[in-house]
Each structure stands twice: as structure tokens, then as C-alpha cells.
Amino acid sequence: MPRVREEWLALTIEEPVDPGAPICDAHHHLLSEGYSIDDFLRDIAGGHNIESTVHVESDDTHYRTSGPEALRPVGETEYVLAQAESRGAAKTEVAAAVVGFADLTLGSSVDQVLEAHIEASRGRFRGVRQSKTWHDSPDLISWATEPKPLSNRRFREGLQFLEGHGLSFDAWVFHTQLEEVADLAAALPELTIILNHIGGPLGVGPYAGRREEVHEEWKRGIAGLAPFPNVVVKLGGLGMPMCGFPWRKAPVPPSSTELAEGMAPYYLWCIDQLTADRCMFESNFPADKVSSSYTVLWNAFKHMIAGLSDEARTSLLHGTAARVYRL
């Protein structure tokens, strides 16, 4: 992840828009290097009403260092819970829901991993994310898993164990893989599939300078998910460098209106295709922090949906995430 420049972010300061509106931040990380819970609490203290958050797995730094290999990712859940509970007096319930990692290609052995996560989370474990980004471009190889990763037979067997525990699957893929997500949703209609970062529309490598073309391809992919009620979408992630937006390279950070202008064609399309009841906003901090501050980002979200009904705005900011993650 590129370095977050706090001094640069401080050049654009805004007061929160509609500060009383309840928010559930549907996706963020706590990292051992450079982004602690104290860093996160400072970011969310800008005036928005962040009632709760969903913590999503990020790295193996806090995995267990002994015991069965398959169970080692449970260490991250233990770490996140310890961090969240150490700040129990904060007004925000950080990690009210936890999404961890389990290798879903383990077959029936994954069941004990899921049970260990559930026990370690003290009732907060809600699902698994196993990144399945794939592309054959050398420019994108650092994110590659394997070709057609969502079709892997053992992976799909593992997903059935998620269903058995009432857990969801957070899907992190690129826009070029959205048809695979639709196929997965059709094959497992009882599994809730949560598409991370609107399906990762790429703007680097072979997609640099092809924003309009990518946008049209991505729109078709999102529309293809609409018929599957078990699919919901996280609205966020466009601040990551892989999406190719220039915000992080500007002399001054973007204002919320500038962010809203760039993001609206993506997020509003998701809302139009899947409705507000199947979409939720996410900060994706600290990954998106390279492009804007937390307060400015949520202002941008609120600007984008200002023309929607009260019910729709409530769903997007809080209701969908609270329902899907069973808060």
C-alpha cells in the first residue's frame, strides 16, 4: 500500500455533512504496521456518527505462530477482538462484525477453522474473505491467485460449509471476473455473497487510459449480478491506486464534491441496479486513505445520495450493513 501522507490530507479539511446520520462502516482494516486502532479512532473522530464497523481480514501478521497451519488465521480474529475490546468505552463499536480468513479449499477440514473463528470472536464472526483476484497481465500479477478461481471445485465445497454456519462470503475480485461471481451466485443461491469494492474496476496496467471502456464493461458485469438476490455490494475502494484515479497525486487532496463527482457514476449505478437494500458504503481504510481523509470521504458519499429517499439513504449508510452482517 502506498504511504499515507497525513500532512497532505490536512490540506483539505471539511465539517461533516449531516453529522447525526447513523453509519455502519462496512469495511475497514486494522494493520500491525502503520494503522492501529488508535489511528482508526482518530480518523473516525471527525464528526460523522459512526455507530459500528465491520473489520475485514487484511494480512497474516497476527496469525498464530504455532499449531495447525489451517488454524493460524484465527490469530487475526483474536487480535482484532483484543484491540476492539481494549477501547470499549469508545462511542463506536469497532469490529461489531468480523470477517476473517479461512482457506476454503481445505474441504471438510475448513469446518474446524470456522468454528475456531466463531469461538475466538465471542459472537462477532460473520464470514470469510478469501481474495480471488485474478489477471494474467504481468502488471497485475501481485494480486493474482489462479485462473478461474471461483470455479475451483474444492473452493466451492468450502463455501457450502459457510452456508452451514450461516456465514457470508466476502468476494474480492477484479471487474474482469464479475461473470464468475454471477455464476457462483447462481450455483449457491442460499449463500450471501458480498462483493468488495464494487468489483475492482481496474485503471492500471493494460487498463490505464481506458476508463470509459472499463466503465462500460464493469457496468455490464454489475447488471449481471442484479438478478441474484443473494449478492450485495460494498460501495467503496475507488481510492485505491489500482483503480487509476488521480486524486492521490494532486497537489491538494480532493474535496468531497470532487470525490463525489468521480465516484457517482459507479456507486449510483450499483444502487440503480441492485437497489439501496443491497448496497452499503465502506471506507476501506486505510487503503483508501491514500486518496482522501475519512471525514471527506463520508461527506462525498452523503453528497452522492442526497437526492434519494430517507429510507434509501438510511439503508446505504447503515441499514444494509447492519442487516447483512447481523449487527
Task: Tell me phi and psi for residue 19, to 5 degrees.
Answer: -65, -15
β-partners of residue 100 are 128
Q: Give the Å distances, CA to CA, from 55 to 118, 149, 240, 275.
A: 14, 24, 18, 24
**Quick check: 89 pLDDT over 60?**
no
178: in domain: yes
> Helix-strand-coil percent breakdown of the chain, rounded to 5?
50, 15, 35
Q: What's the count of helices (H) and strands (E) in the chain, helices before strands?
A: 11, 8
Q: Bridge partners of 171?
A: 195
Residue 215 forms part of a structural domain: yes
Q: Which domain holds residue 85?
A: 19-324
Would the pLDDT of 84 be above 80?
Answer: yes
Q: What is the largest CA-CA distance in the chain?
A: 53
Give a yes or no: residue 254 inside a domain.
yes
Cell triple for 12? 483539505
Q: Point out which residues pair with 195 in neighbouring strands.
A: 171, 233
* 55 close to 87: Cβ distance less than 8 angstroms: no
SS3 311: helix
Q: What is the model's pLDDT at position 108? A: 87
Whole-number pLDDT of residue 59: 87
Q: Outline where the chain has alpha helix (H).
A: 6-9, 37-43, 74-85, 110-120, 153-164, 178-187, 211-225, 256-274, 294-304, 310-314, 320-324
Interstrand relation of 193-195 and 231-235 (parallel, antiparallel or unpaired): parallel
Q: What pLDDT was estimated at residue 195?
A: 98
Residue 14 counted as domain residue: no
In a domain, 159, yes or no: yes
pLDDT at 10 over 80: yes
**Three-class DSSP category at 94:** strand
Q: What confidence score (pLDDT) does residue 47 get? A: 96
pLDDT of res. 142: 78
CATH number for the domain that contains residue 317: 3.20.20.140
- Evaluate whether residue 5 is within a structural domain: no
How confident is the model over 211-254, as pLDDT tens digits? 999 999 999 999 999 999 999 999 999 999 999 999 999 999 99
Write the burial class of residue 103 (CB in 10 Å: 0-12 exposed, 13-18 middle, 19+ buried): middle
Q: What is the tens place of the pLDDT at every residue in 264-318? A: 999 999 999 999 999 999 999 999 999 999 999 999 999 999 999 999 999 999 9
Residue 1's pLDDT is 65
Looking at the predicted structure, is the pLDDT value of residue 43 above 60?
A: yes
pLDDT for 88 equals 63
- Cα dihedral across residues 164, 149, 231, 240: positive or negative: positive
**Which three cell numbers, joined as nine digits, stand for 61?**
501478521
Note the pLDDT of residue 285: 97
Grid cell at residue 102: 479461512
Peptide linkage before 147 cis (omega within 30 of 0): no
C-alpha cell at 60: 497474516
**What digits encode the pLDDT tens for the residues 147-185?**
889 999 999 999 999 999 999 999 999 999 999 999 999
Query: Grid coordinates standing for 65?
Result: 505462530
How far is residue 197 from each of residues 73, 205, 222, 270, 318, measured CA to CA in Å? 22, 19, 12, 11, 17
Number of domains forming the structure of the chain = 1
Residue 318: burial class (beta carbons within 10 Å; 0-12, 13-18, 19+): buried
Q: What is the DSSP string of 145-193?
A: --SSGGG-HHHHHHHHHHHHTT-EEEE---GGGHHHHHHHHHH-TTS-E
Whether 13 is covered by a domain: the verdict is no
11 located within any domain: no
Q: Say if residue 146's pLDDT is above 90.
A: no
CB contact at 8 A, 312 and 28:
no
* b/e 178-193 (16+ beta carbons within 10 angstroms → b): bebbbebbeebeebbb
Cell reading at 27: 469495511
**What is the pLDDT of the chain when averaged over all its residues?**
95
